[in-house]
A and B are shown apart, each in its own frame.
Chain A
Amino acid sequence: MLRLILRRLLESIPTLLILIAVTFFMMRMAPGGPFDTEKRLAPEIEANLRAAYHLDEPLYQQFGRYLWNLARGDFGPSFQYRDRTVTELIASGFPVSLQLGGLAMLIAVLAGVSLGSLAALRQNKPADYGTMAMAMTGISVPNFVVGPLLVLVFAVYLGWLPAGGLGEGSAAAGGWRNLVLPVFTLALTQVAYIARLTRGSMIEVLRSNFIRTARAQGLSTGTILLRHALKPALIPVISYVGPATAGLITGSVVIETIFDLPGLGRYFVTGALNRDYTLVLWIVVFYGALIILCNFLVDLIYGWLDPRSRE
């Protein structure tokens, strides 16, 4: 086990290095720089700024400097938020995205697997059609439509829930009420995907010989489902949930903008627009590392779900 972890860790280093290099050079190739503003700078000031951020050095030297600092755990200063380091910004943004994405994924897995199993058991019956129709709606209606609609109904007209933010300045600061709408909106699409995946694989598993054997032994449907069918049926779901979780917890730009939440997604987009090289690079690398991690966890779970995949 330890060897496996160690091997995967070593394997991930070249992947991350390539990711860093590609992102670094692509960012620099984009025209425009962090100090291009509408009000033009005096050339001397621009030169000073570029020197202060080492932008005056040749690109390979900057890349070397970046890697060297990275090795020492220094991700550099943000170009956009001048007095802050990238590490500080991530430390304030990531918990928000993690909470939001984590909750949404948890809900999505619970609801999606339950609905998908239900649909599989009642295949081609009203419950199946109903669930799948809901899932199709969930997939096809984008969250930038669902989000504002929910805000309009539950915050503006009914006044039951906040319209955005994390409750700063009100008695409910940091409370669950601010998370309801964004988590629900974010989970909706995922519920739909997971329900469809679960249904498909569950139907297949329910047709297999070992389930027929279980039925023949007179086991109840509930027992068959939970004890025998669920584990193998989850395999395709898990391979989807792994990378999707990495995507969700690194922040959803759309959700964070609609609900005005201070998460990583907003940093990423404003960072890219303002050519905040260090911030964008960090988020990309972080996202890449999380995907690697999630894929590794998925492999571990495979082993548990399906003994055949163990080495």
Chain B
Amino acid sequence: MIYRAVRARRHCLALLVVLLAACSRPGEEAPVPVPQAVAVGGASGTELAARQILRAANGAEPETLDPHRATGVTASNILRDVFEGLVTEAADGSLIPGAAESWTVSDDGRTYNFTLRANGRWSNGDPVTAEDFASGLRRSADPKTLSEYSAILYPIDNADAVVNGRLPPDKLGVRAIDDRTLEIRLHSATPYFVGLLTHSSTYAVHRPSLQKFGSKFARAGNLVGNGAFRLDAWVVQSHILLTRNPYYWDNVHTTLNEVWYFPVESAEAELNRYRAGEFDLTYTLPNRQIPWLRKNLARELRIAPYLGSYVYGFNTSRPPFKDNIPLRKALAMALDRDVIVTKVGGAGEIAAYGWVPPVTGYQGQSPAWAAWTQEQRNVEARRQYALAGYSSEKPLRLELFYNTESNHRRLAVAMAAMWRDVLGVETEILSQEWQVFLQTRRARIDTQLFRFGWVGDYDDPFTFAEILQTTHGMNDMAYSNPRYDALVERASREGDAAARMAMLEEAERIMLDDMPVLPIYFYVTKRVIKPWVAGYEDNILDHHNSRFVRILRH
């Protein structure tokens, strides 16, 4: 009875708090004390829960679970559990053997020989063979498969010609020497090649089920994978349920029995469901809630560097930025990135002065002015602005394009304000819906300055460096510097890792001196995770295998 009275009072209090919170400004919502249950993980801190189930919010609904046709991050998250590449990733993101137990590389770095595990099994019990991988790669490169990611296979011999339909798929440089030995030939040494083999475009397919079900082979009930989990149920826009694959070679070390992925489009909705105890981890967080989370759920908040770069691109093929490096530099210098990351972003983004984010083994580059104070930068920015031929009497009138989204808008407004204050630039801010924006940007006709974000496909600077090559399809900046192109080209053929990194670093220095992009910040991953989820480590690619995750007693 007393208990009930206390409870009722607490509910009234909670209601009052909510009503008060509704009156206060966002981000200042008052905290509600959450009663602490038993110590997580029991007395030892590592005791496991009886129910080993992970419930993860997973962003947009995956377009398909066909590993060779999937493109989005959310599909890859699920495929990583259902399939296993030749190489896979540990919880910390480092590369470890996957379906292949070992491999050798020839002296010229162009031929890889993979030895598959003797106990590798598909989820229906069939053995995983080298031919499964060879035909998987051929299918992935085959233009008939309609893969949108097959360009990632280009390091493989003839892949370019196969993808573009000039050669048949069987001419691809892959070969099953015997059941357990797979040979992959590259057209030139590619130091990051092993990392590519974690990508779903390189996964094997179970040929009998593909033949039997055709385009429906990636459905629940049909899909046969070689990963630690199998696809048990898939209800579009509702959930995807994975259950333990008893045939998986390392099944004894898998702890989870079920993994639930929920497609949630709204970051607010997923945070609410997380707080109501319906999810164990979120996919992302609404930026506006992060100050509140820092105050009230600091123990569950995880913010970590991510392999992504948020920049603005200058269209260097048209005025006012054509052949006008001082103007590009003036705009870049006049932005106070510390204010941007703390006041506008607010999720702990890393202020950026270069293009390549913190990639393993790469020395990030930045111009000399990155070390100055903002006052010094502003002085220099004004000097460059005058050099470019502008002044307070003749100010720059600028059009800035971004894709419609509230966080991008806030940043664009802040940038325009900084430029107005420091240089007197008059900026017109224009937004377009994503698909339209992509076309506008690509056409290079209407744009002057436009938002450009890039998330790397693999942990290597090349995934960033290649974009600014003159002929690259994504070079919406129309940047062209023969010295840059030559260095990146040489780096793509260089076998020695240190020499290669040095070339890419030099290339970035040259590029930053021309400033075709305006660096703003490096992305971070942001999410909340319940304290009982163990074995989930932050890593730069944000790749997580559920087979390493455990649910602690709570």
Contact = CB atoms under 8 A, between A and B. Distances in A.
B238 A168 contact: yes
Interface hub of A80, A81, A83, A262 (most chain B Cβ within 10 A): A83
**DSSP class of B's interface residues: helix, strand, loop or mixed?**
mixed
A39 B163 contact: no
Given A151-B272, A157-B18, A165-B278, A44 B434 contact: no
B481 to A, nearest CB: 21
B471 interface: no
B55 A44 contact: no
Nearest to B434: A273
A83 B239 contact: no
B370 interface: no
A83 B66 contact: yes
Contacts of B64: 81-83
Contacts of A92: 235-238
Contacts, number: 168
Interface string B266-278: 1011101101111
B215 A83 contact: yes
Q: How large is the interface on A (under 10, 10 to 19, 20 to 34, 35 or more residues)?
A: 35 or more
Contacts of B219: 83
Given A36-B439, A37-B71, A257-B269, A48 B61 contact: no
Contacts of B434: 32, 273
Contacts of B15: 153, 157-158
Interface in B256-292: 258, 260, 262, 264-266, 268-270, 272-273, 275-278
B435 A36 contact: yes
A164 B238 CA distance: 11
A49 interface: yes
B262 A165 contact: yes
A179 B80 CA distance: 33
B45 interface: no
A262 B238 contact: yes
Interface in A124-154: 148-149, 151-153
B143 interface: yes
A49 to B, nearest CB: 5
A92 B278 CA distance: 22
A257 B239 CA distance: 15
Contact of A164 (B14, B63, B65, B272): B272
A155 B69 CA distance: 38
Among A30, A165, A266, which residue has the most Cβ atoms of chain B within 10 A? Answer: A165
A148 B278 CA distance: 16
A257 B286 CA distance: 14
Nearest to B441: A38
B436 A40 contact: no
Contact of B164 (A42, A83, A259, A270): A42
A100 to B, nearest CB: 13
Interface stretch (B145-153, B348-356, B526-534): B145-153
Given A80-B63, A153-B18, A155-B276, A93 B260 contact: no
Nearest to B54: A169
B165 interface: yes
B96 interface: no
Given A41-B148, A83-B215, A163 B14 contact: no
A254 B442 CA distance: 32
B278 A170 contact: yes
Interface string B213-234: 0011011000000000000000
B48 interface: no
Given A93-B237, A258-B269, A270-B265, A158 B11 contact: yes
A81 B236 contact: yes
A169 B236 contact: no
Nearest to B453: A38
B417 to A, nearest CB: 28
Interface string B18-32: 100110000000001
Contacts of B17: 157
Query: Chain B contact residues (Cβ within 8 angstroms of A): what range?
Result: 35 or more
Contact of B260 (A84, A148, A158, A169): A169
Interface in A165-201: 165-166, 168-170
Contacts of B150: 42, 45
B438 interface: yes
A86 B318 CA distance: 43
Given A31-B435, A40-B473, A45-B150, A155 B272 contact: yes
Count chain B CB atoms within 10 A of each CB in A158, A263, A273 and give the residue with the most.
A158
Given A31-B436, A44-B143, A156 B272 contact: yes
A269 to B, nearest CB: 9
Interface pairs A-B: 6 shortest CB-CB: A32-B435, A262-B237, A163-B276, A157-B14, A262-B238, A40-B473
Interface of B: 11, 14-15, 17-18, 21-22, 32, 53, 55, 60-61, 63-66, 69, 71, 143-144, 146-151, 163-165, 215-216, 218-219, 235-239, 241, 258, 260, 262, 264-266, 268-270, 272-273, 275-278, 433-436, 438-439, 442, 453, 473-474
Interface of A: 30-33, 35-42, 44-45, 48-49, 52, 80-84, 89, 92-93, 148-149, 151-153, 155-159, 162-166, 168-170, 257-260, 262-263, 266-267, 270, 273-275
23 contacts: A39-B148, A42-B473, A48-B165, A81-B64, A83-B65, A92-B235, A92-B236, A92-B238, A152-B21, A153-B18, A156-B276, A163-B275, A164-B264, A164-B276, A165-B238, A169-B53, A169-B260, A170-B278, A260-B264, A260-B269, A266-B237, A273-B433, A273-B434
Given A83-B66, A152-B272, 13 more contacts: A30-B436, A36-B439, A37-B148, A37-B438, A42-B163, A44-B165, A81-B236, A82-B64, A159-B277, A162-B273, A168-B235, A257-B265, A258-B266
